[in-house]
Amino acid sequence: MICHSYGSPNGRPMADNVNLGNEILLSIVIPAHNEERRLGPSLDKIFEFLSKQDYQAEVVVVENGSSDKTLQIAQQAAGAHGNLKVIAESRRGKGLAVRIGMLAARGEYRFLCDADLSMPIDQVNKFLPPELAEAEVAIASREAPGAVIYDEPYHRRMIGRWFNRLTRLILLPGLQDTQCGFKCFRSDIAEAIFTRQVIDGMAFDAEVLYIARRMGHRIVEVPIPWYFDPDSRVRLFHDSGKMAFDLLAIRRNGKRGVYD
């Protein structure tokens, strides 16, 4: 089920005969599973930010398999904002939700955005021209020089760093932070990558970056301020273990030509 309409970034409706097409510079794609607490305030911050920008933008929320009021909250927001599209998907999986949202988006740049806004939304312009010229794939990094992490517990940071080292070893040498939930793809590259993505779970980040590299695209890490939210959807030990196995599956897929 999709609820959508479009308007100017400040929410004022545009004429029905206006064809936005390629005029949309930015699509913000938000996967949302059981996000009734965080989604509403985050959307308020996003639309306040977009109302001050001089470019056309849209927001795409993909609700997948929630058992709370996430979908209702997203639909209510769509009634207030003309440039919000809401997609309801009964199947679960963050990777699945992101793939659906990226392929439904229409912006020249498509920005993956976690619902918790652990990266303040005002950082998004760092991923777009002219601040980042000719970016093909740009990923937020909590480890690049200039990044700052706030309030993350020591044990979570250590497990995160362990997983990053494992990812570099198995799939993506040189990238310091593959799992931060904020990534930007140029539209043509997003179409090519996400039509090849097959992992529906949490390891999709590593998979899409692996595909991007196989296709010869340059990946830029953008240092950001990042604020830990204790209401994280990541189940630290369970998800980390599953993701480690998925890294091996991604490498096997690469050798078998699944992504070619």
Structural domains in the chain?
Answer: 2-255 (3.90.550.10)
Q: Which three-class secondary structure state does DSSP give residue 141?
A: strand
Kindly give, in sequence order, each residue whose CB lies less than 8 Å from that of residue 112, ignoring residues fewer than 6 positions away. 29, 31, 98, 101, 102, 181, 182, 183, 184, 185
Alpha carbon distance 242, 234 (integer Å)? 11
Please report the pLDDT score of residue 233 as a whole number: 58
13: which strand partners?
A: 7
Please report the pLDDT score of residue 231 as a whole number: 75
CA distances from 195 to 7, 103, 110, 182, 259 (A): 28, 8, 14, 19, 9
DSSP string for 27-40: EEEEEESS-TTTHH
Segment (H or E) for 256: none
CA distances from 259 to 43, 93, 178, 242 (A): 34, 20, 19, 21
Kindly give, in sequence order, each residue whose CB lies less than 8 Å from that of residue 41, ignoring residues fewer than 6 positions away. none
Phi/psi-derived region of residue 151, left when phi > 0, alpha when psi is between -120 and 50, beta in every other case: left
Q: Are 33 and 70 in contact (CB under 8 A)?
A: yes
CA distances from 184 to 12, 38, 75, 166 (A): 26, 22, 25, 23
Helix (H) and strand (E) counts in the chain: 7, 10
Neighbour tally for 113: CB within 10 Å: 26
The tokens for 96 are: 């699945």
Nearest in space to 212 (alpha carbons), one of 196, 193, 197: 193
| Residue 252 exposed, middle or buried by CB count within 10 Å (0-12, 13-18, 19+) | exposed
- The pLDDT profile of the chain, 260 residues, written as one tens digit per residue, is 444 433 333 332 332 223 344 599 999 999 999 999 999 999 999 999 999 999 999 999 999 999 999 999 999 999 999 999 999 999 999 999 999 999 999 999 999 999 999 999 999 999 999 999 877 999 999 999 999 999 999 888 888 888 889 999 999 999 999 999 999 999 999 999 999 999 999 999 999 999 999 999 999 999 999 999 887 655 555 566 788 899 999 999 999 999 99
Residues composing the chain: 260
